[in-house]
Structure 1
Amino acid sequence: MPTQIQSTQQATLEQHLNLQVANWTLLYTKLHHIHWYLSGPHFFTLHVKFEELFTEAGTYLDEIAERLLSIGGRPIATLKETLSTATIQEAKGTQEPNAWVAETIRDFAQLVTELKEARQVAEEAQDGVTEDLLLSIQSKLDKHIWMLQSYLGH
């Protein structure tokens, strides 16, 4: 039978994972939005890149939700829960492509911060599998941030 500390750690870990589920659900839609509404001289480059990013987002969403289920949690599964939990904002309207790239960098940086926090909670809960999953996602996001910043000339 789990101790109170283990139960508390488990609940905290589930909250962190559900934050990731909410953000990846929203981000999947947001990246799709950007992909659809892009225009301008870099359309072909960015259109392909954002398709890659929303496809990857869908994969992370599924992996995190399945991990949550495998440890006895219940992933957020409604749009209402997603919107009330997510820490990133929806895409609205259209923007200049570089503004969308910059916004994506900010979203990814937010996710990296929250992934680090979730990894710490997973470590405290002695859940190395979850910790490894989150580190893998963070590593990919770090690379995307670097590449997108390079695209913008930063």
Structure 2
Amino acid sequence: MAEKKLTKLVNKEIANFTVLYTKLHNYHWYVNGPHFFELHKKLEELYNEVTADMDELAERLLALGETPVATLKQYMEMTTIEEATGSENTEDMVQSVISDFEKISNELLEIIEVAEEEDPVTADMLTGMKKSFNKHAWMLRAYLSK
């Protein structure tokens, strides 16, 4: 049986959120400089939110009788997010998070369009996540502006 389009798209975001969680954790651990305390705290807030979103997506698929991806191999095969290299400076870390949030926000729009036809509850959930990613990207862009 072919995987439903909505399930496939949601699973891609579960993979993205998992990779993003790890990346945010990496940055949380390795951020340094004059804004360490501020960014350390913000990155923790972000990875906690991404984890909650990932869990919500997986549980939504389960509630629909579908199967969420759940292995590192699956995540790495499906993700569109690049891993942290471990060599980013603080400004590059923030810029990378902005880029990832914008990429995910754009991908969520595609999923929302599919979900509006197949499952309005999922569409609503994804719209809330998109709003949050957009807000965080805007705030981080403002943080980097000089």
TM-score, normalization by structure 2: 0.96
- Cα offset for 1:95? 1.4
Distance 1:20 1:45 in 2: 28
Q: Distance in 2 between matches of 1:105 and 1:69?
A: 30
- Report the 3-state secondary structure (helix = DSSP H, G, I; strand = E; otherwise coil) of the residue aligned with 1:88: coil
- Give the letter for the 2:77 counterpart: S
Contact map agreement 1:37 1:94 (CA 8 A) in 2: no
The 1-side partners of 2:61 and 2:80 are apart by 19
Q: Which runs of 5+ in 1 are unaligned?
A: 1-6
Residue aligning to 1:107: 100
Distance 1:60 1:121 in 2: 19
2:60 to 53, 56, 67: 67
Distance (whole Å) between structure 1 residues aligned to residue 69 and residue 19 of structure 2: 12
Partner residue, 1:45: 38
- Report % sequence identity: 46
Report the counterpart of residue 140 of structure 1 in structure 2: 132
Kept in 2: contact 1:32–1:51 (CA 8 A): yes
In the alignment, the residues of structure 1 paired with residue 7 and residue 65 of structure 2 have an alpha-carbon distance, to the nearest angstrom, of 9
Distance 2:145 2:38 in 1: 15
Superposed, 1:85-100 pairs within 5 Å as 85-100=78-93
Do residues 129 (structure 1) and 142 (structure 2) align?
no
1:105 offset after TM fit, Å?
A: 0.4
1:149, 1:91 → 2: CA distance? 19
Counterpart amino acid of residue 122 in structure 2: T
Secondary structure at 1:17 match in 2: helix
Aligned residues: 146
Between the aligned partners of 1:24 and 1:95, the Cα distance in structure 2 is 20
Match in the other structure for 2:143:
151
**TM-score between both structures, scaled by the size of structure 1:** 0.91
Q: Name the Cα RMSD after superposition.
A: 1.4
Structure 1 runs (4+) deviating above 4 angstroms are none
Structure 2 Cα separation of the partners of residues 51 and 94 of structure 1: 19
Amino acid in the other structure paired with 1:91? A
2:21 pairs with 28, 31, 47, which one? Answer: 28
